């Protein structure tokens, strides 16, 4: 685990965008994707909003993904395995980088065909508790023509990242603007934030 954690952290330190392939192992990615499909089939996904006090009709022009928050209270084996992984990562990050992370929140996200998320920052103006953004993709067999790339704007450069199965992206929530390009097939991920008090 340490190797993959360091891969993510070292690339983050090098150019502000941490990137690690196979951050989620194949079974865990498949299990979480299974959960997401079940949530979709049972109509439990909700249209995502922006900010704290958002008006959903306006938000739809900015983002069109559907989400569901993970929660230890669900007592779901795979969610709990995911939380164990995040606990290890946070402990490693705090001990190697003195980041002082004290919590986190994660949601499943489904971008149905044609969905997108326009350029934005992940930190709310009214609440600065989100320190780092983390996105992990659940798309086996992703093809170039499928679209749905994450585009990150980093000091005049843009970086375009395909949402490949198991890949994790990690960056400071207050710093880097980013967008999700229109996806041509259903696109799945776990997205979340590491938080400070």
User: Where along the sequence are the contacts to ligand OGA (CB under 6 A)?
Assistant: 109, 117, 122, 135, 150, 178, 180, 189, 191
User: Which of 122, 137, 189, 193 is in the footprint of Ni ion by CB under 5 A?
Assistant: 122
Q: Cα separation of 19 and 152, whole Å?
A: 12
Rounded to the nearest whole angstrom, what is the least distance from the CB of residue 75 to Ni ion in the complex? 29
Q: Taking CB within 5 to 8 Å according to partner kind, which of ligand OGA, Ni ion, none is near residue 66?
A: none
Nearer to ligand OGA, 2 or 125 (CB): 125
**How far apart (Å, rounded) are the C-alpha atoms in residues 69 and 47?**
12
Choice between 79 and 122, CB closer to Ni ion = 122
d(CA 177, CA 151): 9
Report the residue number whose CB is nearest to Ni ion.
Answer: 122
Reading the block at residue 144, the tokens are 């170039």
The least CB distance from residue 13 to ligand OGA, in Å, is 21
Cβ density class 81-102: b for 16+ within 10 Å, e for less: bbbebbeebbebbeeeeeeebe
Nearer to ligand OGA, 19 or 28 (CB): 19
Judged by CB under 5 A, the stretch of 15-23, 28-36, 107-115, 121-129 that binds Ni ion is 121-129
d(CA 65, CA 46) in angstroms, rounded, equals 8
Asked if residues 18 and 11 have their Cβ atoms less than 8 Å apart, the reply is: yes
Q: What is the DSSP letter of 146?
A: G
Q: What, of Ni ion, ligand OGA, none, does residue 79 touch, CB below 5 to 8 Å by kind?
A: none
CB of 93 to ligand OGA, least distance (A): 19
Please give the order of strands across the beta sheet that includes 177-180. 117-120, 177-180, 150-154, 157-161
189 binds, among ligand OGA, Ni ion, none (CB under 5 to 8 A by kind): ligand OGA
Question: Where does this chain bind Ni ion (CB under 5 A)?
Answer: 122
């Amino acid at each position: 685990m340490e190797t993959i954690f360091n891969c993510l952290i070292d690339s983050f330190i090098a150019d502000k965008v941490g990137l690690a392939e196979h951050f989620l192992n194949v079974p865990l990615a498949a299990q979480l994707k299974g959960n997401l499909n079940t949530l979709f089939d049972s109509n439990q996904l909700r249209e995502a909003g922006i900010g704290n006090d958002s008006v959903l009709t306006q938000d739809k022009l900015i983002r069109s993904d559907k989400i569901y928050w993970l929660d230890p209270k669900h007592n779901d084996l795979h969610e709990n395995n995911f939380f164990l992984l995040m606990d290890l990562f946070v402990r490693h990050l705090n001990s190697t980088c003195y980041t002082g992370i004290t919590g986190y929140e994660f949601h499943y996200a489904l971008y149905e065909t044609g969905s997108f998320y326009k350029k934005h920052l992940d930190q709310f103006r009214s609440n600065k508790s989100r320190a780092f953004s983390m996105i992990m993709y659940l798309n086996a067999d992703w093809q170039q023509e499928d679209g749905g790339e994450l585009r990150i704007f980093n000091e005049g450069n843009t970086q375009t990242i395909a949402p490949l199965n198991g890949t994790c992206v990690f960056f400071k929530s207050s710093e880097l603007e980013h967008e999700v390009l229109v996806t041509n097939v259903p696109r799945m991920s776990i997205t979340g934030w590491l938080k400070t008090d």
